A and B are shown apart, each in its own frame.
Chain A
Amino acid sequence: MSQNAKAADLKVDDQKTKAAQPMNGADLFIETLKNENVEVMFGYPGGAVLPLYDALYKNPIRHILARHEQAAIHAAEGYARVSGKPGVVLATSGPGATNLVTGITDAMMDSIPLVVFTGQVATGVIGTDAFQEADVIGITMPITKHNYQVRSMEDLPRIVHEAFHIATTGRPGPVLIDIPKDIAITVGSVEFSDELDLPGYQPNFKPNSLQVKKLRGALAQAKKPVILAGAGVLFAKASEELLQFVEKMQIPVVNTLLGLGGFPADHPLCLGMGGMHGTYAANTALYESDLLINIGARFDDRLTGNLAHFAPNATVAHIDIDPAEIGKNVPTQIPIVADAREALKKILSLDFEAPQADEWREKLQKDKKDYPLWNSETDEGISPQRLMKLIHDITDGDAVVTTDVGQHQMWTAQYYGFNKPDQWVTSGGLGTMGFGFPSAIGAQIAKPDKTVVAVAGDAGFQMTLQELGLVAELKLPVKIVIYNNMALGMVRQWQETFYEERYSQSLIPVQPDFVKLAEAYGLRGYVVTTEEEAEKVMRETLTDNEPVLIDCRIKPKEMVYPMIAPGKGLHEMIGVKPQ
């Protein structure tokens, strides 16, 4: 932040003189983006944003033309998640804006900083059901951190500056700005100001010392402490501090789905992911703990299982920058409203006494050894679990990996082994099919030199596969790995487990030839049906600098285990051991 602020300071004088020239709202819009150091934006033009796109033509900022607005915003999410910078999206009014709704909600649920611009019909006809008019402010009010409609051209620089500030500070999230067409063509002279006047928005970064002392006391008493590390650790860039704290105090760590990589998966104190498809050791640790320290996780229901049975004997400490998350789902005795990094720095500075927890650690290490993740040993196709280990090995565990939602997502979370922050992009809270592939495009744009692997199910991939065109156009070396089981795998798994194998609408008998589909866009495509073939193709194609699509025929009936059935507690896992 501070570096950005400095860079902005240096640019202010320059910008002021430029902006004070008379210009129209559209040109001013581009200047405001440059003032925020926007390097790339993701969008799709249309009638109401013609003036904005015209201004972009004359005064370019790199613009990624997705083939669908939904893909544009998912790409912006992938970009934001991997780069740490806000994703910027531009779409037209009406259908352009409504196509963004899924991505905005996804970003809201997973705290991804986005600044989304939508065109709007001219102010004079707002409310008359004009062509391509939609009440975007009303529609997006509950799915944005904040939203604005620009009512006067003079307000534009202030609103844009506030939007970037709100999106990227505190708990990150999407902010939307709706720009009526007439505002874009109004001419005026406006000066920029970097001052912010947001009396109702003052996120609290520093922890309360009284609560930190309470945590210190609780830790000294604890016999069974556990840390739950969420995505807040990643957003706050607190991985280093977390590692120091854990090693000093020797407390075992459970990662949330979105928090993977915030604490290294290969660390001896890492118990793996908790929750519905978490490890036995992780869930048992949460269930049996007497002190649960949540750092930047929001106690999502997929993590906690039945709340009545969640950590029944634990004192709960919760570090979160968003006070509304504390006590929302789980009663919390030690609330610490703070940035995860600031809180951990404070805790490290105070020289806490390590808890006496040798027995606890030994027990959990034994759980880890006795109840590892497992996969079935039938030979009807590629083992999805071994396939993920293979991808890990070939990419040295260093790739950026993106997924949709479902079985392939869980196998990736379980088996890739994320050791570093910001290499994991997934749709957690909203659980959006079609997210993985476009978000990989955004991630690749943010990190051109990294291997980016988009893992997708065969069904989810078909929701946004039109972006093969974008990959071909930009020659992005995105590696698309399709976990193909000819089904909506997770839906099928639930139908098998809870609906007596009534596979209602979850099997997809007709698919495109994915190889030919890739070739139609001028890309390489492969289909692999055995693990040997998969290994051969992946060793060749995951390591080079070209895009590739690999259709992997995985075991069609493989299930994700272990599992906690809906309504059950973390102590009621099924499929812990091979049946």
Chain B
Amino acid sequence: MKRIVTATVLNQSGVLNRITGLFTRRQFNIESITVGATETEGVSKMTFVIHVDDDRTVEQVVKQLNKQIDVLKVNDITEQAIVTRELALLKVMTTPQTRAEINVIIEPFRATIIDVARDSVTIQVVGNFEKIEAMIELLRPYGIKEVARTGQTAIKRGSQRFVSESKQVSILN
């Protein structure tokens, strides 16, 4: 099953290496990692999308991450009210005939063309994983030359009223 785990970490040298090394060594399967600055200087936030077989494995992921000295806080936010976003850049082959068609296809996705060449366009799209997958499928028949995706980053919604917190892994006080 797919889980989304976030970690706030001290921005020390080698911290990314520490964490990816941990995933490799403990045989945790990562689909994507994003890393970026937070509102606090010196603190970064990482978002992992991981594939695990059972709840015990995700519990281990959270606990092993927590054990790292440079890791401040870890959350499995999969079951919470969250917003996830990913940015993708797609280079799609075009002919003068298909260019307009492509424009029509991407419009409902609120994607934009950010570069045009004689025989291709580069499209930028932002959204959750499913939305990006759906757009790629629609564009595939035109010939996709290249895809670059950032991986998902996530944030909890401001209001958590309607969601159970039962998935939180914590056995501390």
Contacts and interface: CB of A to CB of B under 8 A. Distances in A.
A339 interface: no
Given A142-B22, A200-B69, A327 B14 contact: no
B64 interface: yes
Q: Give the size range of B's interface with the partner.
A: 20 to 34
A206 interface: yes
B67 interface: yes
A63 to B, nearest CB: 28
Interface stretch (B55-63, B80-88, B107-115, B157-165): B55-63
B67 A322 contact: yes
B25 A142 contact: yes
B73 to A, nearest CB: 8
B25 A324 contact: no
Contacts of B14: 137, 141
A138 interface: yes
Interface string B11-25: 001100110011001
Contacts of A198: 69
B172 interface: yes
A206 B173 contact: yes
A323 B61 CA distance: 12
Contact of B66 (A137, A324, A331): A324
A324 B10 contact: no
A contact residues, range: 20 to 34
B171 A335 contact: yes
A199 interface: yes
**In the complex, which of the residues B10, B60, B68, B173 has the most CB atoms of chain A within 10 Å of its own CB atom?**
B173
B69 A201 contact: yes
Contacts of B172: 204, 208, 323, 337
Interface string A127-156: 000000000011001100110010100000
A141 B17 contact: yes
Nearest to A170: B67
Contacts of A337: 171-172
Contacts of B25: 142
B173 A200 contact: no
Interface in A316-339: 322-324, 326-328, 331, 335, 337
A208 B171 contact: yes
A166 interface: yes
A179 to B, nearest CB: 15
Nearest to B173: A208
29 contacts: A138-B17, A141-B14, A141-B18, A142-B21, A142-B25, A146-B69, A149-B13, A151-B13, A166-B69, A199-B72, A200-B9, A200-B69, A200-B71, A204-B172, A204-B173, A208-B171, A208-B172, A322-B67, A323-B67, A323-B171, A323-B172, A324-B60, A324-B67, A326-B171, A327-B56, A327-B59, A327-B60, A331-B56, A335-B171
Given A166-B69, A200-B70, A323-B172, 9 more contacts: A146-B69, A200-B71, A200-B72, A204-B172, A323-B63, A327-B56, A327-B60, A337-B171, A337-B172
